[in-house]
Amino acid sequence: MSDQYIQVKVQLEQMKALGEDTGRGGDVDAEEQLPASSPAASVSPDPSGIISTSVGSRPRGKVRTKQGKDAQNTGGTHAPDASSRGSVVSAHVWRNSNRQEHERTLHIEGTEKVLQGKSETNGNCVANLASKNNQETRREDGLKPARRRRPVTVDMSKAKTSLEALKISIKQLKWKEFPLGRRAACDIYWHGVSFHENENIVSGQVNKFPGMVEMLRKINLSRAMRTVQELFPDEYDFYPRSWILPEEYQQFSTQIRMVKENDATVNPTFIVKPDGGSQGDGIYLIRDPSDLKLMVGAQAKQGVVQEYIQRPLLIDKLKFDIRLYVLIKSLEPLEIYIAKEGLTRFCTEPYQEPSQKNLSHVFMHLTNYSLNVHSGNFVHSDSQSTGSKRTLSSVLYRLAAKGVDIKKVWSDIIALVIKTIIAVVPELRVYHQADIPPGKPGPTCFQILGFDILLMKNLKPILLEVNSNPSMRIEHEKEVSSGVFEYVPSPVDEEVKVGVIRDTLRLMDPGHMKPSGKSSQLRAGGFEHKEEIPIETETQDRSSDEGALPSLCLKQVYPKYTKQFNYLRLVERIASLFIRFLGVKGNMRLGPTAFRTFIRTCKLSNSNFTMASVDIFYIDSTRRWSGATTDSREAGMGLQAFVEAFYSLASRRFKSLVQRERVLSLLELCEAQLESQSGVEDRRSVSCSRALPRAAKTQTLGPNNGSPAPLRRAASQDNRPHPRLKHRTLRANVEN
């Protein structure tokens, strides 16, 4: 075993611990493309031993024909080597249970207390608690075996293509599955596509957030990224420059013409993506704005045109991208987990920089599995480190063996994920308060997202897109004879996806949830960001029932890295103001009177900005955005228009500062005004009615909470109720 191998292993172990440091280290410059056939492949041991999280594999023989028949697959070429997998598995279980011996956690039912420590529990601690809780005393003394809690129930009637992976996960957790749904409420609802698949859920948890599908469509994501790029251009330089079609076509065309006129040697390429597209559908490359196909029949095509990354990192001469699974466990407070293992998807034709001749070579430029699987060069492999779909760890191994600082690559990827989520959270909060307003019974939401990331030749990660509905399929289709397809197990997919689903469920286990619950999450609002959010360690909250399970493959990155990233959450604070003035429950747009109320309450009008000019300002602003909304039934000012208006007000008021400081100054001014108003309101309510309890300060600042009564009245009079979100929601039925 070479020194190099040991170095790689140490580096990967450090990476696995996710490097406490997500800050930028020295620049990794791998300007040299990695050689086509890296010797590293031979040095790399089985990567499953490093990041693998599986605890057992399902029987492998099952295949399904496209016609829905089940058949036994008696050892086809794709059957994995069960024995070798088995040995990896047992090593994990042993390691894990060994750890459990030493680090036992005991969750005390009905409380949020967790006893933690060596097998010999701290006597004092137990004695103290025991005096309060006899049942626990008995449990600690071993007089009576701990009562097993009832299994967690999961409604998977809407799980669609996630079903197989979900079933395996539930089996491993020994939970109870309801494949056809259940009359009584379940603890967890697993939806295959969107929040709105079952509108009747009033309790429990659902694996989708309202608005996520809409928010992550290409146009909306590009807008959200642009909004934050205006404040933090350096921090958000990982998203390629994008123009929204058709509205920004002229801008795009003028800018490109100017770039080319300034420097004739520059010949950029652009990638055009339809707004609702997925799996590479409708995507094409262009080198000149005149090549854009703007119309479908008489209708303008909605989409984005984006700077094409011409120099991606190649492995075996092939372009590839990374699919990373990310869990948003909670919106407020924000909690993000990243899966330590992901997938890489390879092109099937050697890469060349774009030229007029190769622009249409999809197998060279697009990494989508759904496209490349139809190429004659696609390699299905049971190994995690070869073939056209590989595990992320196998690729990182390979890079590390070439001397790449993969710890830095990984920490850059974490930063990209956290920043992207920070960019989309403001609008998600608006959707959330509209669909599940505070006080209305509703489920708690969580969601697994699929981040598609490209590594540039210099190793900088670039965000391509975020999928609200990443494919959780663990089989792939195989054409066994002409026109006859079978679904055969895909070990690489199973390895990664079952771990992600199972560990998401473990994190959402209602038996282990902190009692903060939905209402207190929503109360947090945007004004408390300076507060440290307690960090949940991974050994906490895990029950001893989980003894046989491997350690979590999901790693918390937020609030863990709050200190590094919290300053980026400015737009979320603007969203808090917006939500506060929305007034009517279920509304997502601000009417003119509510906007006036905002200006007046925050004391933003003056002799140069009279209330008459406020009205004109409102009309101009909403008119500019009226073409941009996907649903013309929604009148008024949406969040994006409000943020733009806020930036503009900030520029008027604080001319001498740079944009970010202007916005921050205006925010602080508004927040201070609201706080003082709340104080007045509080005092008034105390003198009027001593019987009423004083509202907590945090409550007065939260969305829709504690807004002064006259303010609420004015806001609600102004906002005619708009059609409920049900109709607005796009029923996307795609997964990527």
Binding mask 468-507 for ligand ADP (x = CB under 6 A): ----------------------------------------
Residue 348 CA to residue 392 CA, distance in Å, equals: 18
Answer yes or no whether residue 735 interacts with ligand ADP by CB under 6 A. Answer: no
Residue 304 C-alpha from the chain's centroid? 21
In this chain, which stretch among 18-26, 140-148, 364-372, 704-712 interacts with ligand ADP, using CB under 6 A? Answer: 364-372
Tell me the residue ranges of DSSP E strands in 30-88: 62-65, 70-72
To ligand ADP, the closest distance from the beta carbon of 240 in angstroms equals: 4
Q: Which is nearer to ligand ADP, 240 or 583 (CB)?
A: 240
Q: Pick one of 464, 577, 664, 714: the residue that binds ligand ADP (CB under 6 A).
A: 464
Q: Which is nearer to ligand ADP, 126 or 730 (CB)?
A: 730
Residue listed under structure tokens 């056939």: 37
Q: Pick one of 306, 469, 587, 700: the residue that binds ligand ADP (CB under 6 A).
A: 306
Q: Which is nearer to ligand ADP, 465 or 503 (CB)?
A: 465
Give 440's contacts (C-beta < 8 A, 6+ positions apart). 585
Answer yes or no whether residue 323 interacts with ligand ADP by CB under 6 A. Answer: no
Residue 625 in tokens:
């955005």
To ligand ADP, the closest distance from the beta carbon of 218 in angstroms equals: 7
Chain residues 635-674 in contact with ligand ADP, contact rule CB under 6 A: none
One-letter amino acid for residue 407 of the chain: K
To ligand ADP, the closest distance from the beta carbon of 457 in angstroms equals: 12
The alpha-helical segments, DSSP class H, found in 133-241 are 134-141, 163-173, 212-215, 218-231
Q: Which is nearer to ligand ADP, 129 or 309 (CB)?
A: 309
Q: Which is nearer to ligand ADP, 21 or 281 (CB)?
A: 281
Answer yes or no whether residue 53 interacts with ligand ADP by CB under 6 A. Answer: no
Residue 67 CA to residue 181 CA, distance in Å, equals: 25
To ligand ADP, the closest distance from the beta carbon of 625 in angstroms equals: 24
Q: Which is nearer to ligand ADP, 443 or 470 (CB)?
A: 470
Element (H, E) at 420: helix 406-435
Answer yes or no whether residue 411 interacts with ligand ADP by CB under 6 A. Answer: no
Residues 216 and 468: beta-carbon distance below 8 Å: yes
Residue listed under structure tokens 């030493």: 102
Answer yes or no whether residue 324 interacts with ligand ADP by CB under 6 A. Answer: no
Of 44, 47, 51, nearest to 14 by C-alpha is 51
Residue 307 in tokens:
């700077």
**How many C-beta atoms surround the C-beta of residue 236 within 10 A?**
21
Give 704's contacts (C-beta < 8 A, 6+ positions apart). 433, 437, 438, 579, 580, 582, 585
Q: Which is nearer to ligand ADP, 135 or 370 (CB)?
A: 370
Q: Which is nearer to ligand ADP, 367 or 556 (CB)?
A: 367
Tell me the residue ranges of DSSP E strands in 380-483: 389-391, 444-445, 447-455, 461-467, 475-481
Chain residues 142-161 in contact with ligand ADP, contact rule CB under 6 A: none
Instruction: Kindly list the strands in the beta sheet with 284-286, ordered across the sheet, starting from the edge strand earlier in the chain.
Output: 242-245, 303-307, 270-274, 284-286
Q: Which is nearer to ligand ADP, 281 or 661 (CB)?
A: 281
Q: Which is nearer to ligand ADP, 53 or 471 (CB)?
A: 471
Give 469's contacts (C-beta < 8 A, 6+ positions apart). 192, 193, 194, 213, 450, 732, 734, 735, 736
| Number of residues assigned to the chain | 736
Answer yes or no whether residue 308 interacts with ligand ADP by CB under 6 A. Answer: yes
Answer yes or no whether residue 348 interacts with ligand ADP by CB under 6 A. Answer: no
CA dist list (Å): 13 to 50, 97, 259, 393, 612: 7, 20, 45, 11, 63
Q: Pick one of 278, 576, 704, 719: the residue that binds ligand ADP (CB under 6 A).
A: 278
Q: Is the peptide bond before 80 cis (omega within 30 degrees of 0)?
A: no
Residue listed under structure tokens 């830095």: 408
Give 477's contacts (C-beta < 8 A, 6+ positions apart). 66, 373, 485, 486, 487
Answer yes or no whether residue 280 interacts with ligand ADP by CB under 6 A. Answer: yes
Answer yes or no whether residue 546 interacts with ligand ADP by CB under 6 A. Answer: no
To ligand ADP, the closest distance from the beta carbon of 700 in angstroms equals: 42
Q: Which is nearer to ligand ADP, 81 or 281 (CB)?
A: 281
Q: Which is nearer to ligand ADP, 320 or 625 (CB)?
A: 320
Residue 565 CA to residue 422 CA, distance in Å, equals: 9
Residue 640 C-alpha from the chain's centroid? 20
Chain residues 421-460 in contact with ligand ADP, contact rule CB under 6 A: 452, 454
To ligand ADP, the closest distance from the beta carbon of 447 in angstroms equals: 17
> Rounded to 5 degrees, what are φ and ψ at 628?
-85, -15
Q: Pick one of 157, 490, 587, 736: the residue that binds ligand ADP (CB under 6 A).
A: 736
Residue 120 in tokens:
């010999």
Q: Pick one of 140, 321, 435, 681: the residue that binds ligand ADP (CB under 6 A).
A: 321
CA dist list (Å): 158 to 173, 205, 481: 20, 14, 32
To ligand ADP, the closest distance from the beta carbon of 106 in angstroms equals: 45
**How many C-beta atoms surround the C-beta of residue 306 within 10 A?**
19
The helix/strand/coil state of 158 is strand
* Size of site (CB under 6 A) for ligand ADP: 22
Q: Which is nearer to ligand ADP, 269 or 729 (CB)?
A: 269
Residue 543 CA to residue 725 CA, distance in Å, equals: 39
Residues 641 and 664: beta-carbon distance below 8 Å: no
Answer yes or no whether residue 465 interacts with ligand ADP by CB under 6 A. Answer: yes
Q: Which is nearer to ligand ADP, 421 or 594 (CB)?
A: 421
To ligand ADP, the closest distance from the beta carbon of 284 in angstroms equals: 10
Chain residues 201-240 in contact with ligand ADP, contact rule CB under 6 A: 240
Residue 373 CA to residue 347 CA, distance in Å, equals: 9
In this chain, which stretch among 38-46, 278-286, 289-297, 488-496 interacts with ligand ADP, using CB under 6 A? Answer: 278-286
Residue 525 CA to residue 702 CA, distance in Å, equals: 4
Q: Pick one of 12, 15, 231, 283: the residue that binds ligand ADP (CB under 6 A).
A: 283
Residues 54 and 82: beta-carbon distance below 8 Å: no
In this chain, which stretch among 360-368, 406-414, 471-479, 514-522 interacts with ligand ADP, using CB under 6 A? Answer: 360-368
Answer yes or no whether residue 367 interacts with ligand ADP by CB under 6 A. Answer: yes
To ligand ADP, the closest distance from the beta carbon of 439 in angstroms equals: 37
In this chain, which stretch among 34-42, 279-287, 495-503, 600-608 interacts with ligand ADP, using CB under 6 A? Answer: 279-287
To ligand ADP, the closest distance from the beta carbon of 408 in angstroms equals: 22
Answer yes or no whether residue 614 interacts with ligand ADP by CB under 6 A. Answer: no
Q: Pick one of 279, 516, 626, 629: the residue that binds ligand ADP (CB under 6 A).
A: 279
Answer yes or no whether residue 466 interacts with ligand ADP by CB under 6 A. Answer: no
> Rounded to 5 degrees, what are φ and ψ at 143?
-70, -35
DSSP conformational letter for 545: G
In this chain, which stretch among 277-285, 323-331, 420-428, 562-570 interacts with ligand ADP, using CB under 6 A? Answer: 277-285
To ligand ADP, the closest distance from the beta carbon of 304 in angstroms equals: 9
Binding mask 236-275 for ligand ADP (x = CB under 6 A): ----x------------------------------x-x--
**How many C-beta atoms surround the C-beta of residue 626 within 10 A?**
15
Element (H, E) at 131: helix 123-132
Using only the alpha carbons of the chain, give its radius of gyration: 27
Contact residues: ligand ADP, CB under 6 A: 240, 271, 273, 277-281, 283, 306-309, 321, 366-368, 452, 454, 464-465, 736
